Chains A and B, each alone.
Chain A
Amino acid sequence: MEETKMVGLYQPQQHSKLYWIFSDSLTFIKRSLKLIFRNPDQLIGLIVQPIMFMLLFRYVFGGAIDTGGPSYVNFLVAGILVQMAAFGALTTSYSVTYDMQKGIIDRLKSFPIASWTVLTGHVVSDLFRNFISSLILLAVAFLVGFQPTASLSDWVLVALIVMLFTFAISWLSAVLGLLAKSIEAVQWMGFLLVFPLTFASAAFAPTESMATGLRIFAQNQPVTHVIEAIRALMIGTPIGNHGIMAVIWCVAIILVAIPLCAYLFNRQVSKS
């Protein structure tokens, strides 16, 4: 350490609050994206999961489930796409809990910045990761016989719905991340949230085949609406109110989850 004058050497830049919210979000997004490629576990999950899901469901259940219309591959792709997006969006919960445990969130809170923007970084990286996983999934689907009827504009809508859904689940998963005390805890919390929602849905079997109670749940819960909307766009099954319900659900989740995140994030300050 040669210089002895250490105070006030570097001056922060002066900009508006809003400018910094965007700038800091961008810094955190860059960080989270870097993490995808620096963390081999994330990278492997990103590539292997869609391949495995697609092949297993296609060949294990393919012969056993009667879709009442479309071939099982055609039926399945929408379900797997959404299930994968939901599980992928749980990455935010692990990342948030990790940041809390490591003391990173504490440190950020001692900075003169809007430190909640760290959450934005994790959420946006889920979007990116899910986008890549979805492309891989579709590529595999085509290889095992997927024959969609969607037009280009249908595909754009599919992409938008998947992104909106991912965005909603990621913020929910940020809530879990802020609530959990450990990585183990957040793992089972995420599992309890996503597993029933994706399996008790129209993802892998038509809801008509389910027992009454389960069927009522499965037909009306958000994940089913998202799946049916995507399925309709991809293979031309009737869309009904699924499109509009999917969007309403996702927006509602986002409108609840973001303020909840803000509350929980700030509450941490006063709590422990």
Chain B
Amino acid sequence: MSENNAIVIEGLTKSYKDVEVLKGIDLKVERGTMLALLGPNGAGKTTIVRILSTLLKYDSGKVTVHGYDVKDQAHEVRQNIGLTSQYAALDEFLTGMDNLVMMGRLFHLSKEDANKRAHELLEQFDLVDAANRPVKTYSGGMRRRLDLAVSLIPTPPVIFLDEPTTGLDPRSRLAMWNVIKKLVEADVTILLTTQYLEEADQLADKIAVIDNGKVIAEGTSDELKSKVGNERLELVIKDSENFARAVSVLANYKFIKNDEERTINITIDSGVQEIAKILSLIEQNSVQIESLSLHKPTLDDVFLQLTGHEAEDKKVEDK
């Protein structure tokens, strides 16, 4: 463990039959920090997590977790990781308590420790009231929390969270975020995958944007946002004649247009004044617009900026 990096990925490639899923990934995660892998479905996020957690063999490259080689030292890697996958991997018919104690025993804690740890985690994750109910009666948010709790039983130094909030309602998502934030404070190294820019922004120290099996951007959330702009103004123009005029009027601004839908998306870098200026330009040139709206940057914006195509275009299943 000479390095200061808990996770090191170099030149990682993986193909399923003739589909190239990972096309040479290089990533490093510093000890005690969180990296978010941000990307649409099919980008290869889950594949990376499955390789890191020794569940999947890769074609070429070098991958180490906590100083151990994922291929040659799988057992040592497994002793140092916690995995929370996309679907809460719990036994539905057992209670929350039973699940935790069973998993604790499988992590080879003594009976006493397994029980003690289960109680601690139920407390931490606000599941004490539901401890003795079968998991099948749990809400989506409760399942995810219990699932995360299971991967924390052996207090591993490295944790993989694969889309921990996908499909959760906003309140459960917030609760989950709070739990995850505390983990980072506690010096755990975390690799999180997400489709939500906001989530990566809220939680991670660094973000790597993945598209089509490649890392297309990497940096802190501020660095990424400066590329994308803080907000964008979307104008829908009335007809094609007005649209042409609008495009020429706004020539000095950074924008992305869609001729068919007659939309213009302008990146707003300096706030309200800039918006006011744009609107008065529109007004002065009597461009007729159908609607206007202001958007926070989304994954789509990152993708539009970085790749020129929308995130939704991907059809390949992320498996």
Contact = CB atoms under 8 A, between A and B. Distances in A.
A1 B78 contact: no
B55 A104 contact: no
A107 B154 contact: no
A68 to B, nearest CB: 47
B218 interface: no
> Is chain B's interface secondary structure helix, strand, loop, or mixed overall?
loop
28 contacts: A4-B186, A6-B155, A6-B188, A7-B155, A7-B186, A8-B155, A10-B109, A10-B117, A13-B108, A23-B108, A27-B102, A31-B91, A31-B102, A38-B134, A39-B93, A103-B88, A104-B90, A106-B83, A106-B85, A106-B89, A107-B150, A110-B78, A111-B107, A112-B78, A113-B106, A269-B56, A270-B56, A272-B56
Contact of A102 (B57, B78, B92, B185): B92
Nearest to A5: B186
A106 B184 CA distance: 25
B110 A27 contact: no
Contacts, number: 113
Given A104-B89, A110-B78, A6 B183 contact: yes
B186 to A, nearest CB: 4
B314 interface: no
A181 interface: no
B106 A102 contact: no
Nearest to B114: A10
A12 interface: yes
Interface size range on B against A: 35 or more
B256 interface: no
Residue of B54, B150, B155, B187 with highest tally of chain A CB at under 10 A: B155
A34 B98 contact: yes
Nearest to B57: A270
B296 interface: no
> Is chain A's interface secondary structure helix, strand, loop, or mixed overall?
loop
Residue of A3, A6, A12 with highest tally of chain B CB at under 10 A: A6
A35 interface: yes
Contact of A12 (B56, B102, B107): B107
A110 B117 contact: no
Interface string A101-137: 0111011111111000000000000000000000000
Nearest to A38: B93
B87 interface: yes
Interface size range on A against B: 35 or more
A117 to B, nearest CB: 9
Nearest to B32: A7
Nearest to A108: B106
Contact of B109 (A13, A106, A110, A112): A13
Interface in A20-48: 20, 23-24, 27, 30-31, 34-35, 38-39
A211 interface: no
A35 B152 CA distance: 24
B105 interface: yes
Minimum-distance CB pairs A-B, first 9:
A103-B89, A12-B108, A6-B186, A112-B78, A107-B89, A38-B93, A110-B83, A270-B57, A9-B155
A269 B89 contact: no
